[in-house]
Amino acid sequence: MKELKKQKKRGSYNLENNFAEKFKTQIQRKKLLAEYLTHISSGYSDKSFPVCDMDTFMLYCEKYPNDFPTDIIEQGRRERLFFWERIGIEGTTGKIQGYNSRSWEFNMKNRFRWSEKIELESRGNIVTSISFVERKSDNRELKEK
């Protein structure tokens, strides 16, 4: 009768290590953060970040909170919004030649989930003033909010 070999449990000894992590050291994680901040403060979206996907980035933020300070990340996100709002203001005031306000409006609605709202007068007449309202994102974000 043949003896059955005892099968090894693969990966069970590997649960708490960082062998598979792409950014293993604090220096690598600081570089990742710096690249992300440069990316978003230049107006680019999270989804176009070429270094890693956002699930991976968020995992590092949760696993290494000292290497990914939420206040600095939020500042970068505000700078991204400022980048696009500045384009809107400069374009509206004629400082950007060939400015396309419809394209900018479309961009803001999709990128920052802005929407139009219609205000109603108390007599029931519809006033067609349009204002932009920022909607909260349903996407997974840092828990600093």
**Which pLDDT does position 124 carry in this prediction?**
56
User: Residue type at 21?
Assistant: E
**Which pLDDT does position 114 carry in this prediction?**
84
Burial class (CB in 10 A: 0-12, 13-18, 19+), 17: exposed
With a threshold of 0.75, does the pTM exceed it? Answer: no
**Which pLDDT does position 33 carry in this prediction?**
98
Question: Running along the chain, 145 residues long, what does each successive block of 10 average in pLDDT?
Answer: 57 58 94 98 96 96 97 97 96 95 92 73 57 58 44
The HSE-up count of residue 29 (CA atoms within 13 Å, CB side) is: 19
**Which pLDDT does position 113 carry in this prediction?**
84
Paired with 127 in beta bridges are: 119
Copy the structure tokens of residue 101: 């306000």
**Which pLDDT does position 143 carry in this prediction?**
45
Give the containing element (helix H, strand E) for 128.
strand 126-134
What CA–CA distance (Å, rounded) separates 64 from 21? 12
Coil, strand or helix: which one is 95? coil
Say which DSSP state 1 is in: -
